[in-house]
Amino acid sequence: MPGMTKMEGGVPAKAPQSPKSLNSSDFAGLPQPMAVARAAAGLVQPTRLVGLPPVVSARTVVLILGSFPGAASLKAQQYYGHPQNHFWRILQSLWPQHPLPPAGPQHYAQRCAWLLERRLGVWDVYASCEREGSLDTSIRSAVVNDFAQLLRECPALRAIAHNGGESFKHSAAVRQQWAGVHADAQVQSIRLPSTSPANASWSFERKQTAWAELMAAHGLL
């Protein structure tokens, strides 16, 4: 699938590198007023950010779709890398009998394997975008991932869990791609409360309850 990095043994390969953006050094030879005018005219292209590869297997039952990795996650090249994001903490609370590998780059592959063992998968709706900061409201010029090939590799999939409202905007389109691949199988789309620290209106306990209900409904708890 174009733009998709294949999984090797349940461990994601490195995502493609973001294209180089122009910076002040590109205008070093220009008179200052001209450089300012070019920047004001939009000739300094914003950095295009490229997302992370999917973490899935043929046994994945619930696919968790975020919107796009935050700045901390992109820097670490890990899903939900911000220490205040509740994603990993919620999942650990649902399976306390299976200790989650610790945070850190040296343990990320083990975390992905832990996720796959719970029959979960994780990806984002956007393959790339332009954005300042980490808020979904700042996303511009987004390109949606091509889900067709991914869904072919997940024959056991029964639910697509959208982690927040920005992801859920694309629920109908994702379901449509699913129907084109698996016309004889039903898949549920559900909007879960975002695990982002920006979703301060939901307490950890409320988020945990909503996520637990979905996992229990599909026999994962």
CATH number of residue 163's parent domain: 3.40.470.10
Q: What is the average pLDDT across 146-171? A: 92
Give the pLDDT band (50/70/90) at residue 154. very high
In a domain, 185, yes or no: yes
In a domain, 125, yes or no: yes
In a domain, 160, yes or no: yes
Write down the pTM of the prediction. 0.78
pLDDT of residue 10: 53
In a domain, 118, yes or no: yes
Average pLDDT, the chain: 84
Q: What is the average pLDDT across 42-66? A: 89
In a domain, 188, yes or no: yes
pLDDT of residue 186: 81
In a domain, 26, yes or no: no
Count of structural domains within the chain? 1
Which residue range forms the structural domain that includes residue 183? Answer: 49-217
**How does DSSP assign 20-87, residue by residue?**
PPP-GGGGTTS-HHHHHHHHHTT-SPPPEEE-PPPB--TT--EEEEESS--HHHHHHTSTT-STT-SH
Q: What is the average pLDDT across 71-86? A: 95
In a domain, 161, yes or no: yes
